[in-house]
Amino acid sequence: MEHRLVRAVEEALGWDGPAPLETEFARGSISDRQVVERLLTPSRLLDMVMRRSLANPQFRLFKGGEEMHPDAYLNRQVTPRGQAIPMADMRRVGSLLREGATLVLDQSNVFDPTMEVACRAMQWWSREHVQANVYLTTNDASGFDLHWDDHDVLIMQLAGEKQWEVRGASRPVPMFRDAERNNTPSEEIVWTGTMRAGDVMHIPRGYWHAATRVGHGSGHSTHVTFGFAKRTAVSWLTWLADWSRQEEVFRHDLDRWASPDEQQDQRLALTAAASQLIDARDPAEFLRLREQEAPPGRHVPFLDIFGPLEAVACVSEFPPVITKDGGTVVVAAAGKKLTFAAKALPGLRLLLSGHPVRLDEAARLVGAEAEVLAKILVEEELCASVTHELFSGYTGLAMSAGS
C-alpha cells in the first residue's frame, strides 16, 4: 500500500523501511505539510468526540497534570426508554480547554476513516499492530509526567507546538508485565526541544519522555502517537505454550508425589519435548503465521440489497501473501487460504494492493473477471466495499490503484 504518510515519515527520519523501530531515537520534519493537515485537525478531533458515545479510559481529560474524574466532562444522556448513554459534555469540555487542559482520545482509528487507513498503512509497512492515540493540549496546561511506554511510538505534531524532554532507557526493553519494576528515570538526556506542526519523532520502547505546554502561554498543541505493539521473544514462548497442547507429554499432570527418580524422568522427557517444539516452530514461523492468521479489520458489510458492488479495498490487517504455484495462485490472509486459477494473478494483485479499486477501472486494466474476483474477496472478507466514508480516508493520502 503506497501511502503518503509512510513515505513522509521515512523521509523525515532518514529511514529506508521500518527496521529502526525500537533500535534508535530519531526526529525530523515532514516537508509534505498537506499530509499533516489531512490526517486530523483539532476541530475534527472535537467533532469526533462530540458525535460518539465515549467512556473513560478511552476518552480522558487532564488538568494540572492530574487525570480528572469522568463526571467532570461526561454525562449520561437518557433515552425516552430510560437507557443511559455516556456522551461528552461539550460545554464542560470547551470550558476546560479554554482554561487549559489535555484531552486524550485513544484508538482514534476506531472512529475516523482517515486514521483507520493511516494505521492500516503503518501496519502493512511495519508488520506490527498499530493504533493512533490523539492528544490535544491547550494554553499553559501540563502534559504527562516523565514516563515510559511498553511499545515503540511515532509521534507526529499535527498543529501548534509542545515542549518535550526525552531520556534514555533505565532498563533495557522493559515490558508491561516484567520481572522487576522500572520506576527510576534515566539521567541520560537524549533530546529536549519544541515539536512544531509537521515535526515527527520516534521514541523506542522504554525511553523516558514528558511533554508540556507550561510556559508557552495561550495556544494549543495537537499530536498523534502511533503505537507499534511489536512481538517479543516472550510472545513467541507464549505461542509455543499453546502449541504444546498438541503433545501428550505436556498434557500430563506434574507428579509431585512421585519418587525422585520418576520426577527426574518426567523432567528429562519434558525437556526433550520442549527442545523438539522449539526446533519445529521458530520465531520466523511465529511472525509469519501471526500475520496470516490475523482477522480482517472492522468494515461495513456489503449488502447487495443496497445496490451493486462498485469499488473495493483490501482490509486485511497485514499484506496478503500471494503465491503462484504452477497453474494456481494461493492467497493467504485474514486466517484464510484461497486458491484461484493462475490467470487471476493480475486481478488479485490489483484488488489486494491496499488501495481503493473501482471495478469498472479494474475491468479495463485486467479484464472482466475482476468483478467476479472482487465479489469472492468481499465474501471472504479480505476486501470490503468502499463506502463514501471509507473512501474519504484514502483521499489525498493513498492513490487509487491504476491511477
Mean pLDDT of the 131-152 span = 94
- Give per-residue pLDDT as tens, 246-255: 999 999 999 9
* Predicted pLDDT of residue 65: 86
Give the integer Cα–Cα distance in Å for 367 and 247.
49
Q: Indicate if the pLDDT at residue 307 is higher than 50.
A: yes
Which range, of 26-30, 78-82, 366-370, averages the lowest pLDDT? 78-82
Helix axes 233-243, 260-280, angle to 10 degrees: 110
* Predicted pLDDT of residue 403: 45
Mean pLDDT of the 132-153 span = 94
Give the integer Cα–Cα distance in Å for 383 and 357.
10
* Predicted pLDDT of residue 84: 83
Query: Interior CA angle at 101 toward 96 and 107, to 5°?
Result: 105
Q: 183-190 long-range contacts, Cβ below 8 Å, gap at least 24?
A: 185/146, 189/165, 190/25, 190/166
- Give per-residue pLDDT as tens, 316-331: 999 999 999 889 999 9
DSSP-based three-state secondary structure for 169: strand
- Give per-residue pLDDT as tens, 167-180: 999 999 998 889 89
Q: What does DSSP say about strands 59-63 and 66-67: parallel, antiparallel, or unpaired?
A: antiparallel
User: With 0-12 CB in 10 A as exposed, 13-18 as middle and 19+ as buried, what is 342?
Assistant: exposed
Q: Indicate if the pLDDT at residue 146 is higher than 90.
A: yes
Radius of gyration of the chain (CA): 25
Q: Indicate if the pLDDT at residue 77 is higher than 90.
A: no
C-alpha cell at 358: 473501482
Which range, of 17-31, 47-61, 74-88, 299-313, averages the lowest pLDDT? 74-88
Q: Indicate if the pLDDT at residue 157 is higher than 70.
A: yes
* Predicted pLDDT of residue 143: 82
* Predicted pLDDT of residue 304: 93
Q: Indicate if the pLDDT at residue 259 is higher than 60.
A: yes
Give the integer Cα–Cα distance in Å for 255 and 115.
53
* Predicted pLDDT of residue 400: 53
104 DSSP β-pair partners: 60, 135
